[in-house]
């Protein structure tokens, strides 16, 4: 069933478990994601990021997400991830996304506050939720370059949260997008401080490659939404490469794409929910 994201994350935050948010780039990945969620009978978030629109157009993917959500036997939120431009965020809202993210983390603090507040106001007027980001979440292999000055500051997070009225806050706590070149070292004490300050569901970007133990610790400290993309792509690439060693039919490729998504998502959802 299609729901707003707060209907999923508020409960997760209050009860201390995590919900997976998965970036999906194909019909097969969507099918695999819903199979995993229904097999576990757990809520799920289907999402697409602005940087992925060249491969997976917004106007094609979002209607498919929405239809799959309405048919599902579990709660499903449809989220526009890492929105960078006002036009695409507004398009995502009009298409029916139940949540959108404005990523203003690279902008000066006051600009991030102003733009996030504007987008949150529009999203709420359309019956959608708003995710925002504060701090610097690194890119692939940059974890050794991160410094304390790039992390989300708890006091600043409270000011940001109150002034923007965002529903969820993505934090920078030693996490990076993409593949980790070294063992991730999440600042779980910092997550706990931010959670105690803003008192709303926190979001962990860069979920691929983090250990089960660190996931569970982060969730216990206030993380309610965990984004996963690279792990799905890695598993898909591995299985497709193996399939390409022989002649294959399109139906076999389709099945491989669906199974790669299903198995990866099911594994992550089990960890996040402590099942």
Q: Give the pLDDT confidence score for residue 14 in this predicted structure.
A: 95
Q: Give the pLDDT confidence score for residue 139 in this predicted structure.
A: 55
End-to-end Cα separation, the chain, in angstroms? 22
- Write out the E strands in 136-187: 168-171
Is pLDDT above 70 for 155? yes
Query: What average pLDDT does range 139-156 have in this prediction?
Result: 67
Q: Give the pLDDT confidence score for residue 240 in this predicted structure.
A: 95
Judged by DSSP in three states, 145 sits in helix
Q: What is the pLDDT of residues 90-135, one digit of tens each?
A: 999 999 999 999 999 989 999 999 999 999 999 999 999 999 999 8
**Within a 10 A sphere around the Cβ of 138, how many other Cβ atoms?**
20
Q: Give the pLDDT confidence score for residue 144 in this predicted structure.
A: 46
CA dihedral 33, 38, 42, 48 (to 10 degrees): 20
Is pLDDT above 60 for 181? no
Is pLDDT above 80 for 16? yes
Q: How confident is the model at residue 145 (pLDDT cuts 50, 70, 90)?
A: very low
Is pLDDT above 70 for 142? no
Tokens representing 121?
A: 């106001």
Is pLDDT above 70 for 183? no
Beta bridge partners of 100: 80, 130
Q: Give the pLDDT confidence score for residue 137 in this predicted structure.
A: 74
Closest Cα to residue 165, out of 212, 117, 206? 117
Residues 109 and 54: their CA atoms lie apart, in Å, by 29
CA dihedral 269, 210, 66, 78 (to 10 degrees): 110
Q: Where are the alpha helices (DSSP H) in the chain?
A: 5-15, 27-40, 58-71, 86-95, 109-125, 154-164, 188-198, 212-220, 230-243, 250-273
Residue with tokens 């999923």: 8
Output the pTM of the full model. 0.94
Q: What is the pLDDT of residues 42-77, one digit of tens each?
A: 999 999 999 999 999 999 999 999 999 999 999 999
Whole-number average pLDDT of the chain? 92
Where is 19: in which H helix or E strand? strand 19-23
Is pLDDT above 70 for 31? yes
Which residues carry out catalysis? 81
Superfamily of domain 5-273: Aldolase class I (3.20.20.70)
């Amino acid at each position: 069933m299609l729901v707003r994201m707060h209907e999923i994350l508020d409960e997760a935050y209050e009860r201390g478990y995590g919900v997976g948010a998965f970036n999906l780039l194909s019909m097969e990945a969507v099918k695999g994601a819903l199979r995993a969620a229904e097999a576990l009978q757990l809520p799920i978030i289907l999402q697409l990021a602005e940087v992925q629109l060249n491969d997976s157009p917004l106007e094609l993917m979002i209607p498919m997400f929405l239809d799959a959500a309405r048919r599902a036997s579990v709660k499903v939120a449809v989220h526009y991830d890492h929105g960078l431009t006002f036009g695409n965020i507004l398009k995502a809202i009009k298409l029916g996304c139940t949540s959108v993210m404005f990523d203003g983390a690279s902008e000066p603090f006051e600009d991030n506050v102003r733009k996030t507040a504007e987008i949150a106001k529009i999203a709420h007027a359309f019956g959608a939720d708003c995710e925002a980001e504060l701090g610097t979440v690194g890119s692939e292999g940059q974890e050794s370059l991160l410094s304390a000055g790039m992390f989300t500051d708890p006091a600043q997070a409270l000011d940001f949260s109150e002034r923007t009225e965002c529903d969820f806050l993505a934090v920078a706590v030693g996490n990076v997008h993409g593949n980790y070149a070294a063992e991730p070292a999440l600042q779980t004490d910092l997550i706990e401080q931010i959670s105690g300050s803003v008192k709303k569901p926190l979001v962990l970007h860069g979920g691929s490659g983090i250990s089960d133990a660190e996931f569970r610790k982060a969730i216990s400290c206030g993380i309610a939404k965990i984004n996963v993309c690279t792990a799905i792509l890695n598993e898909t690439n591995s299985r497709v490469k193996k399939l390409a060693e022989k002649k294959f039919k399109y139906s076999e490729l389709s099945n491989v794409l669906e199974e790669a998504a299903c198995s990866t998502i099911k594994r992550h959802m089990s960890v996040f929910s402590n099942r």
